[in-house]
Structure formats: structure tokens, C-alpha cells
């Protein structure tokens, strides 16, 4: 049995930033990562576009990860366990893990930070009709095969979903000589970043069709083509308008799901909207001493936000383990009228500022974001464009909080 | 030309059952399978139900082998370490369905099956989530669920460690009678056999035609399925059927032997040419959803992790299980549709017996037992520690959803019948069968296969020829770890 002030599960950008945050408070830290190196999903994101906010310069994923990794590995107060997969955790903070070098391990934690990232929705999850040939991949799987293993999955590509990984892969495969024939998005808007649509599709003349889906796939051993069709307002495909596109590859970029399986059987309160835990501004869950940050909490589009959020979670976990996280009453943050979710969902009354992250439910132009507390408007922010693919935030003065916070948009 | 006493054509649950039973005799035996693994035909994609035996018409081969086969499952699956649970089954009927249940009950009794008709109160004890419309059910406590592909693979492995041979990717393309046996030609080679057993499933009629036996027209009916996440386990405890109709046993809701929930199948007629495509259709899935709603309406369809289809092959209304009268020492297994999985062990024993008698084969004193595979999720802490101490690969988790270690994957690749494709690994150890469907582990399984088989990653296949997963090399800009 080993004891640590803070045990962090997952060694991606969230886990690494949490470790540094906890160290700043002088805590002893264990960082468990199931892969054979730190960095998480960043290790396969070899494109530019990371760190503009956090470091003020454009880095590739591996470069961004390296900045944190170097600091983590240099810190004697952080014990890193690689190839260490966490199998279970309990509410009294016992973490069980397995690794080839240490076998079964049991760690006792003063506080836990969850930083397990997310996984991609699969073809099965969307009940894709048709045959079951090779040639159908989640975009992240294809990305790993090309960027880490060095192998390209195909030459004629259709992409279902316009999530960021799919958009990035459209550009990657094009630059490797593949032809991306279509990106089909079932929604009337993209879930990806505007800048990725411009840089990865428009710059290469790759067509993006909204309100369109793949209705079935063909081919016995290898994919030979897909049928696509427009959908009505209820997302039902209009099969009479079905069109066949020959291709050998279908990439799916149809959503990311926070990897919270470890919480099954605990009483940690979960949000149905984010599929992550319900947290306060310190990223503490409903179970005291269990914190959550990064993509396991809610899917982020920018790693910079992940690092910022996780640093706070790590520092707060360290304070909790020392009994120094003194907390006052909480109020709830309630989204409505165009705001799909807001995070944190709970805020403590007191001093300082709190940054509320939120996503809208469709594309809005020229709207104002309003935050109210106890019937009083505490914040108003004019925006030009808000899209579901881009996380927004507003900052609120805690001293103004008089009751539950409601956050909404208005014309 | 290599000589064998017996050649079995087709590596489904039936062919491998025959091979395993033959391995109990002193004989040189070979199984030829055209696909890249055993269990890729009907034996992969079915409901996995061990039917109790009330369904088949009394006096038919279906009834005979079903009842005999079902009785073999508890000891057989224990011996071969195959997931199986005796869950019992219900045929659920609404008010007014009692006469139909009564008829099934009587057939069950005539077939020698333990059955009873129960009322709603008893049903609720077994299935608290049953639809409020259901009033009566036929309860068959001896029915169960099994992993059909694991059974097929275990039969194959057990046969191999007892001296049988299996050659994959060898389709039988010609079959000729010689003076004292058969010349069996595949795409790769030619073999001699004294006795030939045709267990070629959807291809059995074609194989019959090769030797001049009757090649009856087969009918094919596709069944669509949903598989739900293991977190839904518990929504159903037994195998719940609706009342059967002219198309078959109908759309069921059941636990799978590996801990998921299965919904389906439909029954859609398709032509012979596409009998191996196993295409899932939107209409089929819609029918499944409707059918499930009538039995267990609270089933959570948002937990779907996979949809798939399997194709039944039937010839007339009964199994054809007989030695040819036209061609000496040729045995035919045609139209082995449902309950073929349940019947397979009994069919295997019977057919092996007939062949042994024809050739005068002698039984071995005993067979080598099949060693159990290691499963992290089923092992005790001590077993896990010991395993990791013996080989650290047992501490390295590759499939995070199903918690499958590298050690288990290596075992699959080094099995008596080795796995050499990603799907073959998946069927043996469940890597890629969980909620992320290989999104995370597939590239890693490919790496391990590439290393073990000493072939480049670009040649690693999902399944049969032409299913390479990442066939081209990247020109520039990747980060090799
Ligand atoms: C293709 C792609 C492109 C992107 N592009 C950009 C971009 O251009 N700019 C940008 O700013 N952001 C981008 N992002 C977003 C950003 O990279 C992610 O939001 C960020 O990596 C999330 O960090 P994380 O630590 O929460 O998750 P991850 O990076 O996924 O890390 C989670 C870690 O936890 C480990 N883990 C999980 N479960 C366990 C367990 N049980 N035991 C032990 N370890 C476990 C995993 O192995 C993994 O290493 C992109 C993301 C992707 C996928
Ligand atoms: C949708 C569905 C649901 C079912 N549900 C159940 C159930 O719940 N319970 C139950 O008891 N039964 C069930 N069944 C029936 C059961 O699955 C089948 O009876 C059984 O799998 C048949 O096994 P097989 O070995 O005859 O055929 P297969 O598994 O199809 O094997 C035949 C093999 O022969 C090979 N082959 C063909 N031609 C050649 C050739 N020329 N040379 C070499 N190899 C060749 C094929 O590649 C194939 O692998 C179901 C079937 C289906 C389709």
C-alpha cells in the first residue's frame, strides 16, 4: 500500500497540469498513465494549433505535451507510473491499478483528480447500417495509424461528422494523396472549430454538406462505398434522395464521450448533458476529495483551457488533502435559452472571480450573454458569433452572487 | 498428395464439433475452411441461445438433436471453458395467447423437455421489466445462452491439441471420387481422404454439386441484431421470446453469455448470392426496436455498442443429416439452421460415430484436456500476481473497455488454432468488443500481430483477404514512438 496526497488518473495535458498545480501547493503526487508515455491524445496531434492562449505561440500537440512533460518528469515530488491502468477507485479514495512492472497496486489518496480524457463514438453506437468490411474507422483511430504508426488507411474518403478530429484528418489524408470526397454532417452546423473548417476543408476544396448523413455502407471485405442522404428536421434521412459515393474509407467524427467508466458504482453526481461529473469552481465533484478536469469532465476544443482547468483542480485537490479547502455554501448555475450547458454547475459564495464556461445549442449571431443572480443581472456580454463547436466563457464577480446563477442568451 | 482418413469441409460450429468428436478416434483428420478463421459464417452471427427443445416438430431431426445437444452444454462448456449460463427461457404471450402457449407446452412435453406455463405473477419474479401487456409465458428452465464463436473456436482448439489439423483460407473447389476415397482440391492444394464430411453451411449445396449429390435449393434469411453495453446487463435475466410465427421464433431479448444484452433477430429473405454479406438494414433495425418494445419496453437503446446481421440457411423444414446413398463414404450436413448451434455437439458425436464405423476407427483411451485461457477479469488477485510475475505482458492492458492484457492477446495468437487477424483475436479474447469497439485498442492489436507474425502493419487484416486495415505507408511527417 502506498500513500500520496494527490493521486491523478490519466497523464494527458489535464493530468500533467493537475500534477503541477498540486505540486505548487507542496503535495506529494502520484500520476498514473496507462500508455507508455505522458501526453495523452496530444501525442498523435502532430498538426499546429496548440498553446496559442497558454504559451502565446503555436505549437504542435507533441511540442505542447513536451513542455509539461519535462516539468513533470523533473519534479521529484511527482511519482509517475507508466503503463499503469487504473481499474477501480472507491469513495474513500483507494485507487487500484495494474502495470507490467508493478503488478497490482493499491494507492491511498488524500484526494483524487480524474483526468482520463474521452473516447470516440463508434460505428456501433450510431447503429450504422450495411455490411461490416475493413475501411471504417473512428477519425482518431485513423489519426493514430497515420501519425504514430506511419500507415494510411485508404485513398478515397468520406467523413461522417464534422468534429475537429475528422476535419484535421481530412487535411492530413489529402496531404498524403488521398481524395476526401465529402464531409457529411447530420446537424445544420458543425461541432468543430471554425478555424479548422477554413484551414482543413475550404483551403483544400473539400465539400461539407450539412443536414446530411450516411445511411448505409457496402462492401464485403473492404468498403466499396457509402450511401448518403439529406435529413429532415427530425434527423430522419430522406431515402428517396439517397446518393451513392464510391470510396474505400469512411471516417467517423461523430462525437467524443468522457471516459467515466471508473465512476460506475460511486455516488459521484453526473451531468446528462456533458456526460462528466457535476463540479464546483474548484472542479470538485459531489464526492468530497474527488476532482475532475479536462476532457473527462467535458469535451474541450482547446487544450489551453484543459491545462488551465486542470491546474486549478490539482491545486484544489492538494488543499483538500491538507484540510485547507474551506468551502462556503454553493449556488447552482442554471443554463437556459440557447445555453446548452454551463460549467462549473455549482459555485461557492465568497470573494474573487469565477469563470463560467458554456456552450450554445446552435449558431447565434449578435446575441448578448446574460448572467443573473437573485433576480439581478450580474454580467452582460455582447458577442458577434457563438457556435456549438466553440466553447465560450464569462467571468462573474463572486461578491455579486445572491442566489442561483442563471445564464442565458438574449437578442 | 497428403492422405487423411477423414476430411471435414467447413469450420462452423457443426464442422468443428464433428472434428472434435473425430479427434477422440485414432485417425488422421483435416478440416478445410475457406475463411481466415473458424466461426465466420452462421456460427459467428446468431442469437447464441441454447434452445430447450419445445420448438421443433416432434419426431424431426431438429427435435432429436436439439434435445440431445442442449443436455450436453453444461459439461461440454465447462470442459472447454466456454461462457455459458443456464438462464431459462420464456415465450411471452398476451391475454388470449394461452391456446398457442398450450400447443407449445404439449410439443415440449412430447419432445421430452421440461416446460411449464406460468402466469404474470411468476413472470414478474423472473422478469421484473416485462411489458404490462404480457399475461402468460411458457417457461423452459433448461434453456441457456452460450458464446457461439467461443464454442466453435474451443472445439477447434481441442481437436487440434488432440491431433486434428485445420487449414484456413482453403476453399474446397473440387471433389472427386477415386477408387478408395476422394481427391479433395482447394485453391491451395490437393488432399486425399477416405471419408468426406460436408459441413459447409451456406456453401453445402455447392459442395454437394461438386461430387454429384443432389444440390437442393437453399433459402436464406438474414437476422439483424443490436448488442447493448454491459452496463445494461440486468434489464433481462432469461431469454424472452414472443409467440413464434410462420417466420420463426421472433425477436428476442436476452443476456449474452459474455454479459451484454442482445436484441433481435429479424428474418428477411435474401438471394443466395448475398448470403454471406450479412448486411444490416435500417428497416430490420426498426423491426427489432418494435419487437423489443412489445416484450421489455424499458430497454435502453442509447446503450447500443454494435449492430450486426447473420444469415440462416435452410433446406426444406428439417436438417439434412445423412450419409450419401449415391456416394460411398460421403456425409452431408445441409440446412443446419436454428437450432443448429444447440444441436451441434450432438450432431458432431453422431456424425463422427458414423464415419468411425465406416472406416473401422478405434477410440483413443483418452483425450488431452483443453487448458483454460487466462482472463484478467475472471482471475483472483493471486492468479494475476503470479501471471504478471511469469510474464509482464499480463500486466499490460491493451483493450481498456474489456480489460484485455497483451498476455491474453499473445495467447490468442499462439493458440492451437492461431489467430492471425484482428477479428480472430477479438473473438478469442474480446479485445475490441466493448463500448469503444476497438477505437483505442485496434492499432495496438495490429502492432502486436505485426510483431508476432513478423509481417508489416500494412498487411494486417480485419478478417478475410482484402480486408487490410491500413494498407498504405505514410510519406512524411509522422512521429514514430
Ligand atoms: C485530433 C485532435 C485534435 C485537436 N486539436 C486541437 C488543437 O488544434 N488545438 C487545441 O488547443 N486543442 C486541440 N485538441 C484538444 C486537446 O488536445 C484535448 O482537449 C486535450 O488533449 C484533452 O486533454 P485530457 O488530458 O483531458 O485528455 P487526454 O489527452 O485524452 O488524456 C487522458 C489520458 O488519460 C489516460 N487514461 C485514461 N483512462 C485511464 C486509466 N483508467 N488509467 C490510467 N490512465 C488513463 C489516457 O491514456 C490518456 O493519456 C485536439 C484534440 C484531438 C483529439
Ligand atoms: C440469425 C441467426 C440466429 C440463430 N440463432 C440460433 C440460436 O439462438 N440457437 C441455435 O441453436 N441456433 C441458432 N442459429 C443457427 C446456428 O447459428 C446455425 O445452425 C449454425 O451456426 C450452423 O453452423 P454450420 O457450421 O453449419 O455453419 P457455418 O457456421 O456457416 O459454417 C460453415 C462454414 O463452411 C465454410 N465453407 C463454405 N463453403 C466452403 C468450401 N467450399 N470450402 C471450405 N469451407 C467452406 C464457410 O466459410 C463457413 O465457415 C441461428 C442462425 C442465425 C443465422
pLDDT, tens digit, for every residue of A236-256?
999 999 999 999 999 999 999
User: Are A177 and B447 in contact (CB < 8 Å)?
Assistant: no
**Which ligand minimizes its atom distance to the CA of B53?**
2
Query: How many whole angstroms separate alpha carbon A380 and alpha carbon A394?
Result: 9
B227 interaction partners in chain A (CB closer than 8 Å): 124
Asked about B51 being catalytic, the answer comes back as yes
Query: How many whole angstroms separate alpha carbon A138 and alpha carbon B419?
Result: 24
How is residue A255 written as a grid cell? 462525437
Best of A39, A150, A157, A253 to mutate (most B CBs within 10 Å, chain B)? A150
How is residue A143 written as a grid cell? 489519426
A99 interaction partners in chain B (CB closer than 8 Å): 395-396
**Region B209-223 average pLDDT:** 96
Give the closest of B457, B458, B478 to A46, CB-based. Answer: B478
Cα B7 versus chain centre, distance? 21
Query: How many whole angstroms separate alpha carbon A318 and alpha carbon A4?
Result: 10
Query: How many whole angstroms separate alpha carbon B320 and alpha carbon B198?
Result: 11
In the stretch 194-213 of chain A, residues with CB closer than 8 A to chain B read none
Q: What is the 3-state secondary structure (H, E, C) of chain A?
A: CEEEEEEEECCCHHHHHHHHHHHHCCCCEEEECCCCCCCHHHHHCCCEEECCCCCCCCEEHHHHHHHHHHHHHHCCCEEEECCCEEEEECCCCEEEEEECCCEEEEEEEEEEEECCCEEECCCCCCCCCECCCECEEEHHHHHHHHHHHCEECCCEEEEECCCHHHHHHHHHHHHCCCEEEEEECCCCCCCCCHHHHHHHHHHHCCCEECCEEEEEEECCCECCEEEEEEECCCCCECHHHCEEEECCEEEECCCEEECCHHHCCCCCCECCCCCCECCCCCCECCCCCEEECHHHCCCCCCHHHHHHHHHHHHHHHHHHHCCCCCCCCEEEEEECCCEEEEECCEEECCCCEEEEEEEECCCEECCEEEEEECCEEEEEEECCEECCCCCEEEEEEHHHCCCCEEEEEEC
**Region B32-59 average pLDDT:** 97
Q: Judge if A122-254 and A328-411 fold alike in CATH terms.
A: no
Q: Which helix (H) or strand (E) holds B107?
A: helix B98-111
Residue of B nearest to A62 (CA): B479
Rg (CA), chain B: 23
CB B29 within 8 A of CB B9: no
**Region A61-86 average pLDDT:** 97
B372: burial class by Cβ within 10 Å (0-12, 13-18, 19+)? exposed
C-alpha pair distances (Å), A329 with each of A34, A111, A280, A348, B469: 37, 21, 11, 6, 54
pLDDT at B313: 96
pLDDT at B479: 53
Give the closest of A98, A140, A145 to B395, CB-based. Answer: A98
pLDDT at B245: 84
pLDDT at A178: 97
- Is B275 touching ligand 2 by the criterion CB < 6 Å? no
For chain B, what is the domain count? 3
In the stretch 148-177 of chain B, residues with CB closer than 8 A to chain A read none
**Region B100-124 average pLDDT:** 97
Best of B402, B437, B438, B456 to mutate (most A CBs within 10 Å, chain A)? B437
- Expressed in angstroms and rounded, the spacing between residue A164 Cα and the centre of ligand 2 is 42
Same domain, B415 and B435: yes
| CATH architecture of residue range(s) A1-118+257-327 | 3-Layer(bba) Sandwich (3.50)
How is residue A88 written as a grid cell? 477501480
CATH code of residue B282: 3.30.9.10
Same domain, B393 and B427: yes
B471 interaction partners in chain A (CB closer than 8 Å): 151-154
CB B139 within 8 A of CB B105: no
- Residue B256 DSSP label: -
Domain boundaries, chain A: 1-118+257-327, 122-254, 328-411
Give the pLDDT confidence of A138-163 residue by residue, as tens digits. Answer: 999 999 999 999 999 999 999 999 99
Cα A270 versus chain centre, distance? 16
Q: Any idea what the Cα angle at residue A245 is, between residues B437 and B41, rounded to 5°?
A: 45
Give the pLDDT confidence of B281-296 residue by residue, as tens digits. Answer: 999 999 999 999 999 9
| Closest approach of B275 to chain A, Cα-based (Å) | 11
Mean confidence (pLDDT) of chain A = 96
Decide if pLDDT at B449 tops 50: yes
- Expressed in angstroms and rounded, the spacing between residue B260 Cα and the centre of ligand 1 is 28
Examine residue B59 and state whether it is found in any structural domain, yes or no. Answer: no
Q: Any idea what the Cα angle at residue B277 is, between residues B271 and B280, rounded to 5°?
A: 95
A132 interaction partners in chain B (CB closer than 8 Å): 278, 308
User: Are A145 and B463 in contact (CB < 8 Å)?
Assistant: no
Structural domain ending residue among the three candidates B359, B384, B415: B359
Q: Percent of chain B, pLDDT > 70?
A: 99
Strand partners, B271: none
Give the pLDDT confidence of A318-335 residue by residue, as tens digits. Answer: 999 999 997 888 999 999
Contacts of B297 (CB under 8 A, 6+ apart): B129, B131
List the domain range (segments joined by +) for residue B443: 376-480
C-alpha pair distances (Å), B347 with each of B29, B248, B361, B372: 17, 22, 18, 25
Query: How many whole angstroms separate alpha carbon B333 and alpha carbon B322?
Result: 7
Examine residue B79 and state whether it is found in any structural domain, yes or no. Answer: no
pLDDT at B481: 42
Listed residue (B57, B58, B56, B10) closest to B30, CA to CA: B10
CB A123 within 8 A of CB A211: no
Query: How many whole angstroms separate alpha carbon A30 and alpha carbon A4?
Result: 6
**pLDDT band per the 50, 70, 90 thresholds, residue B477:** low
Examine residue B74 and state whether it is found in any structural domain, yes or no. Answer: no
Residue of B nearest to A252 (CA): B439
Contacts of B96 (CB under 8 A, 6+ apart): none
pLDDT at B247: 78
Same domain, B183 and B329: yes
Listed residue (B70, B229, B199, B83) closest to B150, CA to CA: B83
**Region A364-387 average pLDDT:** 95
Q: Say which CATH topology domain A122-254 has.
A: FAD/NAD(P)-binding domain (3.50.50)
Examine residue B75 and state whether it is found in any structural domain, yes or no. Answer: no
Examine residue B71 and state whether it is found in any structural domain, yes or no. Answer: no
- Is A165 touching ligand 1 by the criterion CB < 6 Å? yes
Examine residue B126 and state whether it is found in any structural domain, yes or no. Answer: yes
- Is A276 touching ligand 1 by the criterion CB < 6 Å? no
**How many other C-beta atoms are found inside a 10 Å radius of the C-beta of residue B402?**
24
**Region A45-60 average pLDDT:** 91
Query: How many whole angstroms separate alpha carbon B334 and alpha carbon B218?
Result: 9
Structural domain ending residue among the three candidates B314, B346, B367: B314
Residue of B nearest to A250 (CA): B469
Same domain, B355 and B276: no
Same domain, B398 and B474: yes
Give the pLDDT confidence of A7-32 residue by residue, as tens digits. Answer: 999 999 999 999 999 999 999 999 99
Task: Name the residue at shortest CA distance from atom 8 of ligand 1.
Answer: A49
- Is B407 touching ligand 2 by the criterion CB < 6 Å? no
Query: How many whole angstroms separate alpha carbon B291 and alpha carbon B282?
Result: 14
Q: Any idea what the Cα angle at residue B378 is, between residues B375 and B381, rounded to 5°?
A: 100
Whether residue B384 lies within 8 A of chain A, CB to CB, comes out as yes
Whether residue A99 lies within 8 A of chain B, CB to CB, comes out as yes
**Region B201-218 average pLDDT:** 97
**How many other C-beta atoms are found inside a 10 Å radius of the C-beta of residue B176?**
13
Whether residue B379 lies within 8 A of chain A, CB to CB, comes out as no
- Expressed in angstroms and rounded, the spacing between residue B13 Cα and the centre of ligand 2 is 7
Whether residue A167 lies within 8 A of chain B, CB to CB, comes out as no
Same domain, B132 and B224: yes
Atom index in ligand 2 nearest the CA of residue B170 equals 43
Alpha helices in B116-180 (DSSP H): 120-126, 148-161
- Expressed in angstroms and rounded, the spacing between residue A300 Cα and the centre of ligand 1 is 9
A328-411: CATH number: 2.60.40
**Region A109-119 average pLDDT:** 98
Same domain, B227 and B277: yes
Examine residue B327 and state whether it is found in any structural domain, yes or no. Answer: yes
Give the pLDDT confidence of B360-405 residue by residue, as tens digits. Answer: 999 999 999 999 999 999 999 999 999 999 999 999 999 999 999 9
Decide if pLDDT at A192 tops 80: yes
Same domain, B381 and B450: yes
Query: How many whole angstroms separate alpha carbon B216 and alpha carbon B222?
Result: 19
- Is B310 touching ligand 2 by the criterion CB < 6 Å? yes
Query: How many whole angstroms separate alpha carbon B221 and alpha carbon B228?
Result: 23
Decide if pLDDT at B175 tops 50: yes
User: Are B279 and A131 in contact (CB < 8 Å)?
Assistant: yes
C-alpha pair distances (Å), A361 with each of A183, A194, A351: 21, 16, 31
How is residue A355 written as a grid cell? 469563470
How is residue B94 written as a grid cell? 398476451
Examine residue B73 and state whether it is found in any structural domain, yes or no. Answer: no
Amino acid at each position: 500500500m502506498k500513500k500520496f496526497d494527490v493521486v491523478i488518473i490519466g497523464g494527458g495535458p489535464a493530468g500533467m497540469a493537475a500534477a503541477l498545480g498540486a505540486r505548487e501547493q507542496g503535495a506529494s503526487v502520484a500520476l498514473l498513465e496507462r500508455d507508455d508515455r505522458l501526453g495523452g491524445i496530444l501525442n498523435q496531434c502532430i498538426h499546429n494549433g496548440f498553446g496559442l492562449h497558454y504559451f502565446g505561440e503555436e505549437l504542435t500537440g507533441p511540442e505542447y505535451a513536451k513542455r509539461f512533460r519535462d516539468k513533470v518528469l523533473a519534479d521529484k515530488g511527482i511519482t509517475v507510473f507508466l503503463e499503469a491502468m487504473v481499474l477501480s477507485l472507491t469513495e474513500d479514495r483507494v485507487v487500484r491499478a495494474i502495470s507490467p512492472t508493478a503488478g497490482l497496486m493499491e494507492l491511498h489518496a488524500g484526494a483524487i483528480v480524474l483526468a482520463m480524457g474521452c473516447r470516440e463514438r463508434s460505428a456501433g453506437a450510431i447503429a450504422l447500417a450495411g455490411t461490416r468490411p475493413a475501411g471504417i474507422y473512428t477519425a482518431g483511430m485513423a489519426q493514430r495509424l497515420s501519425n504514430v504508426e506511419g500507415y494510411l488507411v485508404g485513398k478515397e474518403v468520406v467523413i461522417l461528422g464534422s468534429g475537429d478530429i475528422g476535419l484535421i484528418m481530412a487535411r492530413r489524408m489529402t496531404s498524403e494523396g488521398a481524395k476526401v470526397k465529402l464531409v457529411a454532417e447530420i446537424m445544420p452546423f458543425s461541432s468543430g472549430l471554425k478555424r479548422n473548417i477554413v484551414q482543413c476543408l475550404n483551403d483544400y476544396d473539400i465539400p461539407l454538406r450539412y443536414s446530411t448523413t450516411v445511411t448505409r455502407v457496402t462492401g464485403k471485405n473492404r468498403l466499396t462505398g457509402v450511401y448518403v442522404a439529406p435529413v429532415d428536421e427530425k434527423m430522419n434521412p430522406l431515402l428517396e434522395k439517397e446518393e451513392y459515393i464510391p470510396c474505400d474509407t469512411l471516417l467517423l467524427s461523430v462525437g467524443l464521450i468522457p471516459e467515466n467508466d471508473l465512476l460506475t458504482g460511486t455516488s459521484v453526481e453526473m451531468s446528462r448533458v456533458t456526460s462528466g461529473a457535476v463540479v464546483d469552481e474548484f472542479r470538485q465533484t459531489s464526492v468530497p476529495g474527488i476532482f475532475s478536469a479536462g476532457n473527462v469532465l467535458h469535451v474541450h476544443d482547446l487544450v489551453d483551457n484543459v491545462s488551465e482547468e486542470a491546474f486549478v483542480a490539482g491545486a484544489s485537490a492538494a488543499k483538500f488533502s491538507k484540510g485547507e479547502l474551506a468551502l462556503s455554501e454553493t449556488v447552482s448555475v442554471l443554463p437556459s435559452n440557447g445555453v446548452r450547458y454551463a460549467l462549473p454547475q455549482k459555485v461557492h459564495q465568497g470573494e474573487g472571480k469565477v469563470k463560467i464556461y458554456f456552450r450554445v445549442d446552435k449558431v447565434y449571431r449578435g446575441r448578448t450573454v446574460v448572467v443573473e443572480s437573485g433576480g439581478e443581472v450580474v454580467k452582460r456580454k455582447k458577442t458577434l458569433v457563438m457556435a456549438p463547436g466553440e466553447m465560450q466563457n464569462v467571468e462573474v464577480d463572486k461578491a455579486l452572487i445572491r442566489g442561483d446563477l442563471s445564464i442565458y442568451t438574449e437578442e | 498428395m497428403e492422405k487423411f482418413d477423414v476430411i471435414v469441409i467447413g469450420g462452423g460450429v457443426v464442422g468443428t464439433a464433428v472434428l472434435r468428436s473425430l479427434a477422440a478416434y485414432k485417425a488422421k483428420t483435416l478440416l478445410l475452411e475457406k475463411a481466415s478463421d473458424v466461426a465466420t459464417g452462421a456460427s459467428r452471427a446468431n442469437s447464441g441461445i441454447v434452445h430447450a427443445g419445445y420448438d421443433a416438430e416432434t419426431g424431426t431431426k431438429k427435435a432429436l438433436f436439439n434435445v440431445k445437444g442442449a443436455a450436453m452444454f453444461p459439461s461440454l462448456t465447462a470442459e472447454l471453458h466456454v461462457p455459458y449460463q443456464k438462464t431459462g427461457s420464456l415465450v411471452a404471450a398476451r391475454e388470449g395467447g394461452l391456446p398457442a402457449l398450450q400447443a407449445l407446452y404439449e410439443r415440449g412435453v412430447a419432445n421430452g423437455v421440461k416446460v411449464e406455463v406460468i402466469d404474470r405473477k411468476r413472470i414478474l419474479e423472473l422478469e421484473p421489466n416485462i411489458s404490462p401487456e404480457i399475461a402468460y409465458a411458457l417457461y423452459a428452465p433448461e434453456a441457456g445462452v452460450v458464446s457461439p464463436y467461443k464454442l466453435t473456436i474451443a472445439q477447434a482448439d481441442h481437436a487440434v491439441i488432440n491431433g486434428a489439423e485445420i487449414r484456413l483460407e482453403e476453399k474446397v473447389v473440387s471433389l472427386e471420387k477415386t477408387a478408395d476415397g476422394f481427391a479433395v482440391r482447394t485453391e491451395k492444394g490437393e488432399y486425399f481422404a477416405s471419408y468426406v464430411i460436408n459441413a459447409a453451411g451456406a456453401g453445402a449445396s455447392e459442395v454437394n454439386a461438386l461430387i454429384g449429390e443432389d444440390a437442393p435449393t437453399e433459402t436464406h434469411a438474414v437476422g439483424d441484431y443490436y448488442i447493448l453495453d454491459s452496463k445494461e446487463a440486468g434489464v433481462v435475466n432469461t431469454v424472452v421470446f414472443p409467440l413464434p410465427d410462420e417466420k420463426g421464433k421472433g425477436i428476442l431479448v436476452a443476456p449474452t453469455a459474455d454479459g451484454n444484452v442482445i436484441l433481435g433477430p429479424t428474418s428477411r429473405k435474401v438471394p443466395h448470392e448475398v448470403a454471406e454479406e450479412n448486411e444490416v438494414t435500417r428497416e430490420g433495425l426498426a423491426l427489432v426496436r418494435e419487437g423489443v418494445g412489445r416484450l421489455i419496453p424499458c430497454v435502453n437503446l442509447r446503450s447500443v455498442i454494435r449492430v450486426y446481421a447473420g444469415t440462416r440457411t435452410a433446406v426444406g423444414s428439417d436438417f439434412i443429416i445423412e450419409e450419401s446413398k449415391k456416394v460411398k463414404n460421403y456425409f452431408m450436413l445441409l440446412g443446419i439452421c436454428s437450432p443448429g448451434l444447440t444441436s451441434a455437439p450432438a450432431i458432431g458425436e453422431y456424425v463422427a460415430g458414423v464415419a468411425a464405423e465406416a472406416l473401422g476407427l478405434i477410440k483413443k483411451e483418452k483425450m488431452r484436456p483443453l487448458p483454460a485461457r487466462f482472463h484478467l477479469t475472471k482471475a483472483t488477485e493471486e492468479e494475476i500476481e503470479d501471471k504478471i510475475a511469469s510474464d509482464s505482458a499480463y500486466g499490460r492492458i491493451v483493450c481498456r473497455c474489456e480489460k484485455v492484457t497483451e498476455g491474453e492477446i499473445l495467447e490468442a495468437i499462439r493458440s492451437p488454432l492461431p489467430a492471425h487477424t484482428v477479428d480472430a483475436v477479438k473473438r478469442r479474447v474480446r479485445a475490441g468488443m466493448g463500448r469503444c469497439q476497438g477505437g483505442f485498442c485496434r492499432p495496438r492489436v495490429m502492432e502486436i500481430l505485426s510483431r508476432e507474425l513478423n509481417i508489416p502493419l500494412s498487411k494486417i487484416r480485419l478478417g478475410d483477404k482484402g480486408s487490410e486495415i491500413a494498407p498504405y505507408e505514410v510519406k512524411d511527417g509522422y512521429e514514430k514512438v
